[in-house]
Structure formats: structure tokens, C-alpha cells
Amino acid sequence: MMGLSSYLLLCGVVVVVLAREDHQKPRPWAGKTKSGALTGENKNFWLQKGEDELQEALNLEPNTNIAKNIILFIGDGMSLATVTAARVYKGQLAGNSEGSSAQLSWEKLPHVGLSKTYDVDYMVPDSAATAFAMFSGVKTTGYTMGYDNTIDYLKPGSAVNATP
């Protein structure tokens, strides 16, 4: 069995080998001059950007009124990876070659939340079950809606004992 010091030494050797010049990832922009937008994105730029966004969030006046309406924008199938791809694509369409610094319209809203949805028996849920969970606050069995998780898929008789 390999000891911790041997393991760390092996990891160090692997890092050194992978860092050699002939193991670098190809970069299509290698040797090209950075665009004007990228040259200013140094440490000070990012620290200031973080400070500005934090200050903007802290300066938001909380709305303590009773809500008249609530609007849910439900992006069915929009994982974080899909949203990132959309952001990059939007940035690239605007002429920024790397694109990831673009901002999507809902990312500018003052209050945004994420909801982790899945069925009680499936990690990749269907839309009916997740819509029911968002509407009722109760997760259900995959491919069903209107009942809690005691309903059985394709067993109508189980509705007798399930909680609607």
C-alpha cells in the first residue's frame, strides 16, 4: 500500500510532467494580441467588479409590502451548464471571442433563486413531476403529478392510499 508521502510525491511528479511545454492544451488564440476588453481584466478589475456588485446588492431596498403577484420563470431543462452555454453564445454573438462575461437578462433581476428539482425516485425528472413539486412544495414519483411519493407509476390502484 502506498503511503501518503509516496502518494504526494507521485502527484507532484504527475503535475510536473503535465506542466511540460509539450503537454499544454492547444489554444487557438495563442500568440495573438488580447482584445482591448481582455487586457483590462486584471486583478484590480475583478476585485473592483466584485466590490461593485456586492455594494449594489447591499444597497437594494427590501420590499416589505405584501406581494400582489408572483411571477415564476421556469426554465425547464435549463441546467447551470445550459445557462452557461447560452451566456457564452450570447457573448460570442456580440463579438467577444470567449463570451463568458456576457450577462443574460434574468441575471440582471434584483432577486433570483435556483431550485433543485428531481423526483423522489429519479435523479433526472420529468416536467410533470417537477411542475407539481414547484406548485405544491411536495416531491412526487417520476411521471406522476397530483400525489405525494406514495403513488406508484402505472399502478392506478395506488392512488387510493396516496395523498393528493
Which amino acid makes up residue 16? V
Comparing CA positions, the residue from 101, 100, 135 lying closest to residue 115 is 135
| Set 101, 115, 127, 136: catalytic member | 127
Assess whether 127 carries a catalytic annotation: yes
Under a CB-based contact definition with an 8 Å cutoff, are residues 125 and 142 in contact?
yes
**Distance, first Cα to last Cα, the chain:** 55
CA 2 to chain centre: 37
CA-based R_g, the chain, Å = 25
Return the half-sphere exposure (C-beta side, CA atoms, 13 A cut-off) of residue 6. Answer: 3
Q: State the Cα–Cα distance between residues 61 and 81, nearest whole angstrom.
A: 31
Would you name the residues annotated as active-site residues?
127
